[in-house]
Amino acid sequence: EDKVVQSPLSLVVHEGDTVTLNCSYEVTNFRSLLWYKQEKKAPTFLFMLTSSGIEKKSGRLSSILDKKELFSILNITATQTGDSAIYLCAAASGTYKYIFGTGTRLKVLA
Amino acid sequence: TAGITQAPTSQILAAGRSMTLRCTQDMRHNAMYWYRQDLGLGLRLIHYSNTAGTTGKGEVPDGYSVSRANTDDFPLTLASAVPSQTSVYFCASSSYGQGSSPLHFGNGTRLTVT
């Protein structure tokens, strides 16, 4: 059965800290790994990763995929209160399936 | 651009009643999806459509039906609502139904079945 597991389930840090969020996956016909940030409403797209070892970066956020060990990490440096959200990862499998993890709830304290 | 528009934003529905959740996209994406999001269970796929005129069942399709008469619209119908269908429903779309492009989400419909 296809599955995506995220850890930790929740995390509380102080502004300025660096955090690492983990996502492991087991899916058939893997195509890509996606990260989303969800605040109050719709998940918003952060990264899509298809190749191992190539870091994607956007400002203070970065992510990398390891297709051999079947995991991805999302790093956030110099965290800010605006980074507080649920971070979701999803593995794209086959023609239509995007399997989501249950998310990591991040709270950044001022 | 509007992206994906869902309506209504929220709804309280009596058990046994029917309801259609509306979803419209203006990005000309081929593929569209309906997910439900429940605490502790994450996002689960209800139904999907890779192109206009075709639909498929996702992980939790029972009690729901969809249609895809054109590219832009993908309504989700609950024929006879039950309390376990209380959830937040997200419509999403992607350029290609091949897992090679990201999903874009609407703002969701919060449904409470009493």
Domains of chain B: which residue ranges? Answer: 4-113
Residues 33-92 (A) with a CB less than 8 A from some CB of B: 34, 41-45, 48, 50, 88, 90, 92
Q: Are A48 and B108 an interchain contact pair (Cβ–Cβ within 8 Å)?
A: no
Q: Which two tokens stand for residue A64?
A: 């990398």
How big is chain B by its Cα radius of gyration, in Å?
Answer: 13
Residue B1 confidence class, pLDDT cut points 50, 70, 90: low
Residue with tokens 């597991």: A5
Cβ-contact B53, B70 below 8 angstroms: no
Per-residue confidence (pLDDT) for residue B98, from 0 to 100: 57
Q: What residues of chain B lie within 8 A of the CB of A34, using their CB?
A: 102-103
A75-84, A91-100, B12-21: which has the minimum mean pLDDT? A91-100
Choosing among 3.30.930.10, 1.10.10.350, 3.30.200.20, 2.60.40.10, the CATH entry for B4-113 is: 2.60.40.10
Q: Which domain holds residue A97?
A: 3-109
For B20-37, what is the mean pLDDT? 95
How big is chain A by its Cα radius of gyration, in Å?
Answer: 13
Q: Are B45 and A97 an interchain contact pair (Cβ–Cβ within 8 Å)?
A: yes
Other CB atoms closer than 10 Å to residue B40's CB: what's the count?
A: 7
Q: What residues of chain B lie within 8 A of the CB of A101, using their CB?
A: 42
For A24-32, what is the mean pLDDT? 92
CATH (domain of A51): 2.60.40.10
SS3 at position A81: helix
pLDDT in tens, A32-62: 999 999 998 899 999 999 988 889 999 999 9
Per-residue confidence (pLDDT) for residue B46, from 0 to 100: 96
Query: For chain A, how many structural domains are there in total?
Result: 1
